[in-house]
Amino acid sequence: MKTHTFTCEQRLDAPLNNVFDFFSDAHNLEAITPPFLRFEVVTPRPIAMQIGTLIDYRLRVRGLPIRWRSEITAWDPPHRFIDEQRRGPYRLWHHEHRFEADGDATMAYDEVTYAVPLNWLLHGFIRKDIERIFAYRQEQLEAWFNR
C-alpha cells in the first residue's frame, strides 16, 4: 500500500488551552470544513474525547455520499491527539494534531498519513482535494482565532 503525507502548520492568536478546547469539540469540525463537502457530525453531543472514542460523520466527496467513522487513538491534552479512519473512503487515514504554546499564541500542526484506493489513478485528484480542504480550514481558523 502506497502511503502519502500531508503537513501544515498555523499560528493562532489564542492560548494553548483555548485552541485545544476548540479542537476537542468534534462538532467544531463542521465550522472549518468546506461547504462543498456537506460535512455533518452524526454522533450526538456531548462527545467525550478520549482514547477509543468513535465519531461518525456524513459528507459528500465529489457528490458521492460517504459515511466516515474515526477513532481517537491518542489523547494528550492540550498537546496532541490522533484520529484514525475506521470506515470511510481512504485505505488509511492517520491524522495527528499537535499544539505548542508560542508566547500568548499557539502553533497548530497537522500531519496526515493516508493511502487511497487505485493510487495510480486517483491520488492526484485526492491530493488536490486534501490541499483545498486544509486551505479552507486554515482560513476559517484564521477568522476564528486571529480577529
The pTM is what? 0.94
Angle at 109 between CA 77 and CA 49, to 5 degrees: 30
Quote the domain boundaries for residue 104: 4-145
User: In which element (H, E) is residue 130 found?
Assistant: helix 119-145
pLDDT value at residue 48: 95
- Give yes or no for residue 147 having a pLDDT over 80: no
- Give yes or no for residue 9 having a pLDDT over 90: yes
Look up residue 15 and give its DSSP letter.
-
- Count of beta carbons in the 10 Å neighbourhood of residue 135: 12
Question: What are 52's three cell numbers?
Answer: 477509543
pLDDT value at residue 146: 82
User: Which amino acid is located at 12 in the chain?
Assistant: L
Domain total in the chain: 1
The DSSP-derived string for 43-111 is SPSP---STT-EEEEEEEETTEEEEEEEEEEEEETTTEEEEEEEESS-SEEEEEEEEEEETTEEEEEEE
Q: Using one digit for the tens of pLDDT, what is the confidence trace for 65-102?
A: 999 999 999 999 999 999 999 999 999 999 999 999 99
Please, which pLDDT band fits residue 8 given cuts at 50, 70 and 90? very high
- Find the CATH number of the domain harbouring 77: 3.30.530.20
Q: Give the three-state DSSP class for 36.
A: helix
Please, which pLDDT band fits residue 58 given cuts at 50, 70 and 90? very high
